[in-house]
Amino acid sequence: MITLALSKGRIFDEALPLLQAADIVVLDDPEKSRKLILDTNRPDVRVLVVRATDVPTYVQYGGADMGITGLDTLLEHGSDGLYQPLDLQIAQCRISVAVREGFDYASSVRQGSRLTVATKYMAIAREFFAAKGVHADLVKLYGSMELAPLTGLADAIVDLVSTGGTLRANHLVEVEHIMDISSRLVVNQAALKLKQAPIRRIIDAFNGAVQRRMEVKA
């Protein structure tokens, strides 16, 4: 049995064509069903529906053999015990710094100054501002980061951006692009040894689908 951990929403939706390339068809719709273990057309493959931030944890501890997770989530979690064979190039976005329109970010990041930053991405934000030599006081939030600069909770946020629509709707502007984000395939290292052939087959099928999509785009 191969157990694959996925989160509902954009990662699940964008993973479906990859699963199909590996001849895996999920039989339930996680948006409609309350089931957390989804059957597939293959008796030897099942899908666990977990919170996006829990995917690396399930795979690390062997609750799932493999999973699909955003690079953002992976960098925050750390990659202990996780083999990362593939950039699946799905759920693409970027992680950026944003501030309120009119906020003087340039002055706030001059050497020796301080900046209050609200984010769910403490590790990524800490490393980014440390590398710039900016003293950032980080405030941990779990969602709706966009509110922080509007309410005076923070000067800036570090958050994911895809179209930029959410920032615009909240009168925020992107002032730094920290890194590009996409989803990664992660595999439990012990499972990779014990179930090498079926896991390799899935990795190869996903890889083929990713390559074909790149050729179509090019």
Binding site residues, ligand PRT, CB under 6 A: 7, 9-11, 51-53, 70, 72-73, 91, 93, 159-166, 181, 183
Q: In the complex with ligand PRT, which residue's Cβ is closer, 2 or 172? A: 172
Q: Take residue 48 and report the two structure tokens written for it.
A: 């666990």
Q: Which is nearer to ligand PRT, 41 or 84 (CB)?
A: 84
Nearer to ligand PRT, 22 or 93 (CB): 93
Nearer to ligand PRT, 53 or 189 (CB): 53
Residue nearest to ligand PRT (CB): 70
CB of 69 to ligand PRT, least distance (A): 7
Rank residues 147 and 204 by Cβ distance to ligand PRT and give the closer one.
147
Write a three-state SS string for the chain: CEEEEECCCHHHHHHHHHHHHCCCCECCCCCCCCCCEEEECCCCEEEEECCHHHHHHHHHCCCCCEEEEEHHHHHHHCCCCEEEEEECCCCCEEEEEEEECCCCHHHHCCCCCEEEEEECCHHHHHHHHHHHCCEEEEEECCCCCCHHHHHCCCCEEEEEECCCHHHHHCCEEEEEEEEEECEEEEEEHHHHHHCHHHHHHHHHHHHHHHHHHHHHHC
Mark 147-177 as b/e (b = at least 16 C-beta within 10 Å).
ebbeeeebbbbbbbbeeeebbeebebbeebe
Least distance (Å) from ligand PRT to the CB of residue 129?
Answer: 19
C-beta of 142: minimal distance to ligand PRT in Å?
Answer: 8
- Residue 200 C-beta: closest distance to ligand PRT, Å: 25
Closest to ligand PRT by CB, 146 vs 195, is: 146
* Minimum CB distance to ligand PRT, residue 22 (Å): 21
Q: What's the closest the beta carbon of residue 63 comes to ligand PRT, in angstroms?
A: 18
